[in-house]
Structure 1
Amino acid sequence: MLSIVRLSQRFQITLPAEVRELLQIQPTDRIAFRTDDTGRIYLENLKSIQVNTVRGLLQKQQLTDCSDHALTEHPTSNQEENSY
């Protein structure tokens, strides 16, 4: 697919419908722009990036239980909160 767009005076573009459909984006969604060493620019739906990041963390078992972490970091403040 090749789409050519024109920059506005404010350096804005309108994404072609094919690109919007491919990225599965809606108005107000966030898009990430990534570049590689060759100068190519990649657009990614930020929702997809977040899902893939979480999926990667789960696969690597890098997630920790937040409550255990909080107890380790602040044992006295958590005990005080739980006493009410």
Structure 2
Amino acid sequence: MVALYENSLVTDCTNGENKGRVLPNDFVVRKLQKLCSVKDISAKKTVTGTVNFSVWERFNGSKCCVAVFVQNSSHQIFGVQNFPLPDDL
């Protein structure tokens, strides 16, 4: 799985128990896409793939990162790595 997430967002709460507060939000997943499925996996197996994400209005690449993670069919996560986006994006 590949997730495109954004940091440094804020939520201006107008209702509820947090009414009147401004809450910071990090690691907000904006896009999530399956990279591939693998049935026979070993420690030395190489997996490649491509994902394409469309960006949203007011997209700010300096606040975004990509996380790649491996999980099984029960959604148990075995490993994750995150990467900042290139400066020239």
TM-score by length of 2: 0.19
TM-score by length of 1: 0.20
Larger Rg: 1
* Higher fraction of helix: 1
* Higher fraction of strand: 2
